[in-house]
Structure 1
Amino acid sequence: MPPLVLQERYSVHQNDFAPLIECDDLLRELMAQGGPMPSDYAQMNRTLRLLGDAVRAKVIARDDVLAYAQDVTNRHLEGTMQARALGKKYGYSGDFEIIEAIYTLQIAQEPHLRRWDLYFHSQAAPNAVRNRKAYFHQLLNSHSAGHTKAPLNVLNVASGPARDVREWMLDNPEREVFFDCVDAEIHAVERAKKLCAPFAKRVEFYHRNVLRFLPAKGYELVWSAGLFDYLTDRTFVFLLKALIAVTKRGGEVVVGNFSDYNPSRDYMELLGDWVLQHRTREQLRELALEAGAAADSIEVMWEPEGVNLFLHIRR
């Protein structure tokens, strides 16, 4: 779509539309060469940041940028990770298939799409998603190592494909750890059941909305990695209270949330329509206090990218 068509389509002044025109020029150049090389990543990120600045300054409407992204993606990038996120197959960009594709570094086989997926996976946000799987495994290691007298019960909220559960159990077949996994998407539950089939005696799945239902067994560890940054503050507090209530004394609740430091944010929001509630460490502490957690029971940690924060609450 040449710049002139961009102007006619959205009826904006060329100076106002300059960041989108620059983005369009760069995308055309990169598509002509078969996709971005690693040496192009910095320029791509800079261009998206300038476009994001223009949207935040209300110089360009976000809806116009999304319409442009949808058009370009449909015509040139169908089958890429970006297209899958933008397509929202299950109603939102970060669905269980996207998360599993990030975990397993899925890359399109078509040569003209392959480099775009490599660029997607190089971003800070997908790296943070992969890191949170490792973070969960470390939590399981530490909790199970210190819990030798009885089985360890773990609640996994919005468990998605449960690949993280499967991989940990493969590495720890002898540990007495039992998982209850809850997810509102039936396709995610079905996929997770297949992945965890070898461990069916140790994992129970619930196809339920966690805002309406939680198993009430009592858990030593409650984990939720990718749900809370989709929630408003009010819903965040409501659900966190419920998670604290099903955590045993001496147990721990750990929930993930993308931080306000996210170098991938413009790429996610403008080319993938992947919008999250980014929060600071201080905001997470305040929400935990509002949910009834004691001040000295709260700790906020992060994974190596610094993009995904983890709110820990000890009971």
Structure 2
Amino acid sequence: MIALQNNAYKSIGLELLREFIATEELSHTNFFQLEELLSITAYEYRKGRISKDEISKISLGFGKEFLENTLHGRGFLKPNGYPGDYLFLDRIYTNHISEDSKYKIWDEYVQQSAAPNAVRNRKEYFKHLAKAKAKLASSIKVLNIISGSGRELVELYNAEKENIFTTCVEIDDEAIAFSKELNKAHLERIEYVNSNIFRYQTEESYDFIWSAGLFDYLNDRAFVKLLRRFKGCLKKGGEIVVGNYNEAHNPSRDYMEILGDWHLIHRTETQLLQLAKEAGFAEHEIHVSRMPDNVILYLHIHCL
């Protein structure tokens, strides 16, 4: 009897979500209704009552034209072959909203969500740290891992931070081309390296190593391996900062996983500290910080 009830509940949840998507009649007054349907569907999915195949087909109900013309669609379709590509994130950074009334409300829904707000806050966090470090030295060298669109850099350099020199490591050559164009007035202070970060080799050492959009795709073993490599690139007195979505608080997680097919490895503060210790850092060298929204945790590692 319980199994029958669960199956009925599962079918109703999926059907209501499909119907909601098929109408595309989202409005500011029913954002909460979509959130509720996503929450129900996510619960059932995580309990194993809805298959991954069923989840993957939900967003197809929007239709090809919709997916090709919305922020949500770019996130779901992954035209560059990976989730959260440089252009998707740059549109979040710039709060892009379609001017077409058919798509505008869906872009507004995505942009007001917790994860996009956290991404914009992440950009501000980087700029704050870089500016603070630049004030304390004649010059600083920054290693920017998976540098994407470079939006944070153009904003930083437009503030005339002439003593900051950045090496950007990025595997997507389209992202590098986009960033170079965006930062064309500042290229004398930026070096681009088109490389997989696990194959990247350098004899340089850096004052500040920043990686905000990589580690929540890595399992624990790869996480520790990469931190150990970064340790060898850090100057004495330097700092590594790694961003990772918060296991305890991400209100956008249901949307990301159910509609966006965007799955990240969320971690707790305790887990981040433990991974840093496994990578060979002492307890007094590490701490975790966060912005007020608490959606992304920042693991700070100091080379004392």
* TM-score > 0.5 by shorter chain: yes
Q: List runs of 5+ in structure 1 lacking aligned partners.
A: 1-11
C-alpha offsets along residues 237-278 of structure 1, whole Å, 9 cap, x if unaligned?
Answer: 111111121010111000111111111011011111111111
Work out whether 1:292 is the aligned partner of 2:283.
no
Structure 1 pair 75–202 and aligned structure 2 pair: CA distance change class (3 A) = closer
Q: Which residue of 1 aligns with 2:182?
A: 195
Structure 1 pair 76–218 and aligned structure 2 pair: CA distance change class (3 A) = closer
For 2:37 and 2:95, locate their aligned partners in 1 and report how far apart those are by CA, in whole Å: 25
Contact 1:73–1:83 (CA<8 Å) still a contact in 2? no
Aligned with 1:101 (options 87, 91, 101): 91
Work out whether 1:259 is the aligned partner of 2:246.
yes
Structure 1 pair 24–71 and aligned structure 2 pair: CA distance change class (3 A) = closer
Aligned with 2:119 (options 129, 148, 153): 129
Structure 1 pair 234–73 and aligned structure 2 pair: CA distance change class (3 A) = farther
Q: Which residue of 2 aligns with 1:25?
A: 19
Q: Which residue of 2 aligns with 1:6?
A: none
Q: Which residue of 2 aligns with 1:113?
A: 103
Contact 2:76–2:262 (CA<8 Å) still a contact in 1? yes
1:193-232 counterparts in 2 under 5 A?
193-232=180-219
Q: Which residue of 2 aligns with 1:62?
A: 52
Work out whether 1:303 is the aligned partner of 2:291.
yes
Identity %: 36
Structure 1 pair 190–79 and aligned structure 2 pair: CA distance change class (3 A) = same
Contact 2:169–2:192 (CA<8 Å) still a contact in 1? yes
Q: Which residue of 2 aligns with 1:16?
A: 10
C-alpha offsets along residues 123-158 of structure 1, whole Å, 9 cap, x if unaligned?
Answer: 1000000000000011011111111xx321111011
Contact 1:128–1:307 (CA<8 Å) still a contact in 2? yes
Work out whether 1:271 is the aligned partner of 2:262.
no
Q: Which residue of 1 aligns with 2:302?
A: 314
Instruction: Letter of the 1:125 partner, please give it.
Output: A
Work out whether 1:182 is the aligned partner of 2:176.
no
For 1:230 and 1:303, locate their aligned partners in 2 and report how far apart those are by CA, in whole Å: 21
For 2:183 and 2:222, locate their aligned partners in 1 and report how far apart those are by CA, in whole Å: 30
Contact 1:289–1:295 (CA<8 Å) still a contact in 2? yes
Equivalences, count:
297
1:77 Cα deviation from its structure 2 partner: 4.5
For 2:32 and 2:242, locate their aligned partners in 1 and report how far apart those are by CA, in whole Å: 32
SS of 2:185's equivalent? helix
SS of 1:284's equivalent? helix
Structure 1 pair 287–73 and aligned structure 2 pair: CA distance change class (3 A) = farther
C-alpha offsets along residues 146-197 of structure 1, whole Å, 9 cap, x if unaligned?
Answer: 11xx321111011111110111000124x31111111011111111111111
Q: Which residue of 2 aligns with 1:154?
A: 142
For 1:73 and 1:54, locate their aligned partners in 2 and report how far apart those are by CA, in whole Å: 25
Q: List runs of 5+ in structure 2 lacking aligned partners.
A: 1-5
Q: Output the TM-score relative to the length of structure 2.
A: 0.93
Contact 1:301–1:310 (CA<8 Å) still a contact in 2? yes
For 2:196 and 2:141, locate their aligned partners in 1 and report how far apart those are by CA, in whole Å: 20
For 2:63 and 2:265, locate their aligned partners in 1 and report how far apart those are by CA, in whole Å: 25
Q: Which runs of 4+ in 1 moved over 6 A?
A: none
1:64 Cα deviation from its structure 2 partner: 0.5
1:75 Cα deviation from its structure 2 partner: 6.2
Q: Which residue of 1 aligns with 2:153?
A: 165
Contact 1:70–1:86 (CA<8 Å) still a contact in 2? no
